Amino acid sequence: MGFERTTILKMALGGGLVLIGGPALTYYVMPEPDELFKRYNPELQKRALAEREARIAAHAEFMHKLEKYSKSDKPIWQLAAEDQKRQRAEAAAERKRVRDELERQKQEILEEQRKIAS
């Protein structure tokens, strides 16, 4: 009976050591974000600072979309797929509009050249 208690006590102490010691070791070993940034070479630091606003804006947009998707009853991946399909359709329509506008301008230029040549 005494053997079982010591075994259980050892297991509990070992488990506690793993549960508390593991995250504590990770926290101790992991560098701070500022410390990592200081280790970058100067070119990477400049690029990271230049792209920071764009990353923040992209993340804010992603969170806004995620919040909008979460209000629906549909699964998020279905809403995201529908949104991507809608964005592709809008992009295709915009490309077509630009192509038509360029074609119209081209025709106008050709007509002006014909008038000048005549």
The 10s digit of each residue's pLDDT in 63-101 is 998 898 888 899 989 988 999 999 999 999 999 999 999
Q: Is the distance from CB of 107 to CB of 101 less than 8 angstroms? A: no
- pLDDT band at 118; cut points 50, 70, 90: confident
pLDDT at 37: 86
Residues 105 and 107: their CA atoms lie apart, in Å, by: 5
- Compute the mean pLDDT over every residue in the chain, rounded to the nearest whole number: 91
Answer yes or no: is pLDDT of 4 > 70: yes
Which tokens belong to 44? 């990477």
Amino acid identity for residue 73 in this structure: D
- CA dist list (Å): 23 to 2, 30, 68, 82, 100: 32, 10, 34, 40, 60
pLDDT tens across 46-61, in order? 998 899 999 999 999 9
Nearest to 69 by CA among 85, 82, 59, 86: 82
